[in-house]
């Protein structure tokens, strides 16, 4: 058998923790010297210790851990619980990472206030273009909610185009519209790419004509789309200064799309504008 100190080192826990587990009946020592009070543990008690630590890391209280172990949860059940917790933690980490990126992007926008001018905004007509597209719905138009929705669409779109023998004839284009006429914040996300084939809504690939825009305020955005607010807000200032109005949904024409190095991307933002 092992002393409490040796057992703690073997189990990669603290002596203090083992004493606490003993006091609440969660992991009793195999024997206690009646004269010295020293605790001794067997190697096979590491199995219970492993389960205690794993279940505690799932977020369960020690009382819940004891109840589960006393019911003799088997390895398969424990593995399933751990996998579920791993998935939850991975999802939380991804969400926190995306949230941090959004905060940093917003901070960069704040820091750039007063330094970005509207001189690069160009007012022009946008001609109609034929595109192959896939669509999905995002809960709202925030950058951090659009990204996870649109990003999987393009690999799938190009996979379908390749399977259909259709080759892109121009840049990829994304555009957005309200999901319902009744209002709400959900938006339909259109992921498209310019093609030169007949329009069709049958089969694996939908090919439609993206209509012309008589008057659009446009700007070239350099960098990742996480920082698009800087360019969008520059457009907003230009639109207000020049007496136009807009619905706020910009087309995004990916002139130079860099999947592995998004900071090198070049995107034209096109906002349809009008006067009352």
| 173 or 101: which leads in pLDDT | 173
Q: How confident is the model at residue 175 (pLDDT cuts 50, 70, 90)?
A: very high
- 3 state DSSP class of 164: helix
Q: How confident is the model at residue 108 (pLDDT cuts 50, 70, 90)?
A: low
Entry pTM:
0.62
DSSP 225: G
* Residue listed under structure tokens 């172990």: 69
pLDDT value for 219: 92
Cα(251)–Cα(227) distance, integer angstroms:
16
All domains of the chain, ordered by start, with CATH?
A: 2-73 (1.10.1660.10), 122-272 (3.20.80.10)
pLDDT digit string (tens) for 189-228? 999 999 999 988 777 889 999 999 999 999 998 888 877 8
Q: Is the pLDDT of residue 106 over 80?
A: no
| 102 or 211: which leads in pLDDT | 211
Cα(190)–Cα(170) distance, integer angstroms:
16
End-to-end CA distance of the chain: 87
Cα 178 from chain centroid? 21
pLDDT over 90, % of the chain: 52
Q: What share of the chain is helix, strand, coil (3-state, %, to 5)?
A: 40, 25, 35
pLDDT digit string (tens) for 117-136? 667 899 999 999 999 999 99
CA dihedral for 262, 271, 145, 171, sign (positive or negative): negative
How many Cβ atoms sit within 10 Å of the Cβ of residue 106?
A: 16
Residues in the chain: 276
């Amino acid at each position: 058998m092992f002393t409490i100190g040796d057992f703690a080192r073997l189990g990669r826990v603290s002596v203090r923790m083992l004493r606490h587990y003993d006091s609440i009946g969660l992991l009793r020592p195999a024997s206690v010297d009646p004269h010295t009070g020293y605790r001794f543990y067997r190697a096979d008690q590491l199995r219970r210790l492993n389960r205690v630590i794993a279940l505690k890391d799932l977020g369960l209280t020690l009382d819940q851990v004891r109840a589960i172990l006393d019911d003799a949860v088997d390895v398969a059940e424990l593995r399933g619980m751990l996998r579920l917790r791993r998935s939850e933690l991975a999802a939380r980490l991804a969400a926190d990472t995306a949230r941090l990126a959004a905060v940093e992007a917003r901070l960069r926008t704040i820091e750039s206030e007063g330094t970005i001018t509207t001189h690069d905004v160009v007012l022009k007509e946008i001609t109609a273009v034929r595109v192959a597209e896939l669509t999905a719905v995002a809960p709202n138009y925030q950058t951090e909610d659009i990204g996870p929705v649109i990003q999987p669409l393009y690999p799938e779109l190009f996979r379908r185009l390749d399977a259909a023998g259709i080759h892109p004839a121009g840049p990829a284009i994304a555009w957005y519209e309200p999901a319902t006429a009744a209002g709400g914040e959900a938006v339909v996300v259109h992921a498209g790419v310019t093609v030169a084939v007949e329009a069709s809504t049958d089969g694996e690939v939908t090919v439609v004509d993206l209509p012309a825009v008589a008057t659009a305020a446009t700007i070239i955005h350099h960098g990742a789309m996480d920082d698009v607010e800087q360019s969008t807000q520059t457009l907003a200032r230009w639109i207000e200064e020049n007496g136009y109005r807009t619905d706020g949904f910009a087309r995004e024409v990916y002139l130079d799309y860099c999947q592995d190095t998004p900071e090198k991307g070049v995107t034209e933002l096109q906002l349809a504008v009008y006067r009352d």
